Structure 1
Amino acid sequence: MSANEVVVGVIFLSQTVIGVLGNSSLLYHYLFLYFTGCRLKCTDLILNHLIFANFLTLLCRGVPHTMEAFGWKVFLGNVGCKLLFYLHRMGRGGSIGTICFLSVFQAITISPRNSKLAEFKMKVSKYAGSTLCLIWVLYSLVNVIFLMYMTGNSMKENHTGLKYHAYCSSVRPDKTAESLYAALLSIPDALCVGLMLCTSSSMVSVLYRHRQQMRWIHRTNVNPGSSPESRATKHILLLVSSYVCFYTLSCIFQVLFSLTYNPNIFLVNICAIVAGFFPSVSPLLLLKCECRVSRFCFACIRNGKSPMYMTNG
């Protein structure tokens, strides 16, 4: 095993371990709040879907790539490759859809009463669960393509029409079909990214106006921008901005991979590494944001009070 293979294996292993531990800790955090009497907010429901999407992405992509990098041959067969790539793509789609809905939800939540978004405040909380289910159904249907074209590596030696994906391969469609499939896979993602950018701009504008208004209040006990809504919005903006950055970087390498007829192992690995950034980093960002809620609940439990808090926020 060469030094490059060891480095790549360590990167994959670190990403997978950090991501699994981080998402498991975040899931434990929400389970603890639920079983200790805390009523979870609507944003917590959305973030639980994000945790599930992160697990799918990390386990279906990180684990086999880690094994392959360390020289442990992964024999999945045709069915295993189809299922693994399909679940990975579902996790990726669920991730971008969930982040998009989280951004839209928070933009509606903090919108002023006189804005056009204010009328959706009650509806968005009521239909949050249905919207998340619809997101998963949409991406499960869009990614059926991977069940058709993914295959194992057993045919790689005697089949020139395959593109190598480390432990699996994909059948090369003709140029017209490939362009149609690329457009079909890209349209939902492009819409989600566009919505995230619009809602993020709206939230930044609302926070800026709020800060400007608070400057006119000359009270010593007021800290501009310190309200729970402002803190939650800043945390979501951090999450959305990090996702957009990682997603853009991932798309660049995915385009290079698609345009390369016979991609080498370096390009295959770098695409997988970049795709694993957000599932590994996002739970750490969320845990840092949620620590204040945990301290609040611990204080309530010690005082013998019910740590219930509002559901829509």
Structure 2
Amino acid sequence: MAASEVVVGVIFLSQTVIGVLGNLSLLYQYFFLYFTGCRLKCTDLILKHLIVANLLTLLCRGVPHTIEAFGWQVSLGNMGCKLLIYLHRVGRGGSIGTICFLSVFQAITISPKNYKWAEIKMKASKYAGSTLCLIWVLYSLVNVVFLMYITGNSTNKNHTGLKSHGYCSSIRHDKTADLLYIALLSFPDALCLGLMLCTSSSMVSILYKHRQQMRDIHRTNVSLASSPESRATKHILFLVSFYVCFYTLSCIFQAFMSFTYNPNLFLVYSSAIVAGCFPAVSPLLFLRCESRVSRFCFDCIRNGKAPFNMTNG
């Protein structure tokens, strides 16, 4: 086994193990708070869906690539490859859809407190679960196309019509069909990215205007910058920026793979590593933020007090 293969295998293994443990730890924290009587915020429901998307992305892409990078044979067959790639794509779509909805929801939450926005906030909280389910259904339907042209490597012998993706292959199409597939798969993602940019700009504008107002009336002690809403908004803005950076890099690698006749393993592995960075690192950021909540809830239980209610504003 070459040294480069060992390095790639270690990267995949580390990324998968850290990401899975981080996401499971965060999920355990939410379940603990729920079963101890804490009422979680609507954003926590959104983050739980993001955790599921992260786990799908890591397990369906990281585990097979880790096994393959260490030189072991990965034989999934046609149905195994179709299912694995499909679940990975659904997880990837669920991730961008959930991040987009989180950004939109937080922008609505910190919007000016008038009657119109109060009604919108109430509806956003009420239909959050339905919206998240709709996101999963949408990406499940869009990515059905992968079930049609993904195939296992066992059938690619003496077959020039297949493009290798490591442990699986895909049926080649002409450039027109490839462009149509790319347009179909990219449209929901482009829509989500556009919404994220708009809502992020809105949140930055709201925070800046409020800070200026507080500075003008010399009330820095109650500034939004020190409020829970402000801290949550800044965390979400950082999360969205972090996601957009890695998503853009992932799209660049995906584009190279789509238009390359026979992509080499370096391109395949690089694309997979970049795609796994966000789901592997994001739970570590969440755990740092949520640790304060967990400690407070532990203190409540230890002191025999009722846990606090974490309701939406």
State the TM-score, normalized to the length of structure 1: 0.96
Matches within 5 A, 1:71-86: 71-86=71-86
Aligned residues: 313
Q: Does 1:19 align with 2:16?
A: no
Report Cα offsets for 1:205-255 as digits up to 9, x if no partner.
111112222224546854651111111111111111100010001111111
Task: Verify: 1:303 aligned to 2:306, yes or no.
Answer: no
Q: Secondary structure at the match of 1:210?
A: helix
Cα deviation 1:25-52 (Å, max 9, x = unaligned): 1001101111111111101100000000
Could you tell me how far 1:299 is from its partner in structure 2?
A: 2.5
Q: Superposed, which structure 2 residues align to 1:194-213 within 5 Å?
A: 194-213=194-213
Partners in 2 of 1:293 and 1:100 — Cα distance? 24
Partner SS state of residue 163, structure 1: strand
The question of whether the paired residues in 1 share the 8 Å contact of 2:224 and 2:230 is answered with no
Map 1:162-173; keep pairs closer than 5 Å. 162-173=162-173
TM-score by length of 2: 0.96
For residue 288 of structure 2, what is the aligned residue in structure 1?
288
Q: Secondary structure at the match of 1:166?
A: coil
The structure-2 alpha-carbon separation of the partners of 1:64 and 1:310, relative to structure 1 and needing over 3 Å to count, comes to: same
Question: Is the CA contact 2:13–2:62 (under 8 Å) kept in the aligned structure 1?
Answer: yes
**Match for 2:172: what amino acid?**
R
Check if 1:40 corresponds to 2:52.
no
CA–CA distance in structure 2, aligned partners of residues 105 and 18 of structure 1: 29
3-state SS of paired residue (1:225): helix
Q: What SS does the corresponding residue of 1:276 show, helix, strand or coil?
A: helix
Q: Please give the alpha-carbon distance, in whole angstroms, between the structure 2 residues aligned to 1:95 and 1:249.
A: 15
Deviation at 1:20, TM superposition (A): 0.4
8 Å CA contact 1:41, 1:311 repeated in 2: yes
SS of 1:293's equivalent in the other structure is helix
Greater Cα offset, 33-42 or 132-141: 33-42
Contact 2:38–2:310 under 8 Å retained in 1: no
**1:270 — aligned with what?**
270
CA distance in 1, matches of 2:90, 2:7: 28
CA shift at 1:12, angstroms? 0.3
Deviating more after overlay: 91-100 vs 201-210:
201-210
One-letter identity of the residue aligned with 1:200: S
Deviation of the 1:88 alpha carbon: 0.2
Match in the other structure for 1:186: 186
- Cα root mean square deviation, aligned: 1.5
Larger mean Cα displacement after TM superposition, 103-112 or 148-157:
148-157
Give per-residue Cα distances to partners, 1:250-295, cap 9 Å, x unaligned: 1111111111111111000000000000000110111111122112
The alignment status of 1:68 with 2:73, answered yes or no, reads no
Write the distance in 1 (CA, Å) between the matches of 2:201 and 2:305: 39
Q: Report the CA distance between 1:308 and its aligned residue.
A: 2.7
> 1:296 is matched by which residue type in structure 2?
F
**What CA distance in whole angstroms lies between the structure 2 residues aligned with 1:202 and 1:114?**
17
Q: Provide runs of 4+ in structure 1 moved above 3 Å.
A: 114-119, 216-224
Is 1:6 equivalent to 2:6 in the alignment?
Answer: yes
Residue 231 to residue 270, structure 1, CA distance change in 2 (3 Å):
same
Q: Quick one: distance in 2 between partners of 1:115 and 1:161?
A: 60
Identity of aligned residues (%): 81
Q: Deviations over 1:164-209 (max 9, x none)?
A: 1100000012222221111000000000000000000001111111
Q: Per the alignment, do residues 207 and 220 of structure 1 end up closer, same or farther by CA in structure 2, a change over 3 Å counting?
A: closer
User: Cα offset for 1:158?
Assistant: 1.2
The answer for the alignment partner of 1:279 in structure 2 is 279
Task: Give unmatched runs, 5+ long, in structure 2.
Answer: none
Gaps of 5+ in 1: none
- Residue matched to 1:29: 29
